[in-house]
Amino acid sequence: MTYTRKNSGTCSTQTQVSLAADGTIEEVQVKGGCNGNLKGICQLLKGMPARDAIARMQGTTCGPRPTSCPDQIALALKEALENL
């Protein structure tokens, strides 16, 4: 199942996540943002249970912003799980 979410409050503009039926992350793609860092994060997330990734990243901030790209990924994963 693939889910796409428009990001808010970050340099990245969109997060797309693909989950297996059991909630395991198959792929994450982020448009915009810090290219190298986000590519690395996306690679690290492959094969991880979405619930574990959410627990690790949700609430992460970026400088003075109340959110971050990892937080936006967590929100996309959370919404994807709700739609799985």
Q: In Å, what is the CA distance from 77 to each residue of 30, 58, 61, 73?
A: 12, 10, 17, 6
pLDDT tens, position by position, 38-59: 999 999 999 999 999 999 999 9
Q: Which residues have CB under 8 Å from 74's CB, separation 6+?
A: 53, 54, 57, 58, 59, 60
pTM (2 decimals)? 0.95
With CA atoms as reference, report the closest residue to 33 among 8, 60, 66, 4. Answer: 8
Rounded Cα gap, residues 25 and 45, in angstroms: 7
pLDDT tens, position by position, 6-42: 999 999 999 999 999 999 999 999 999 999 999 999 9
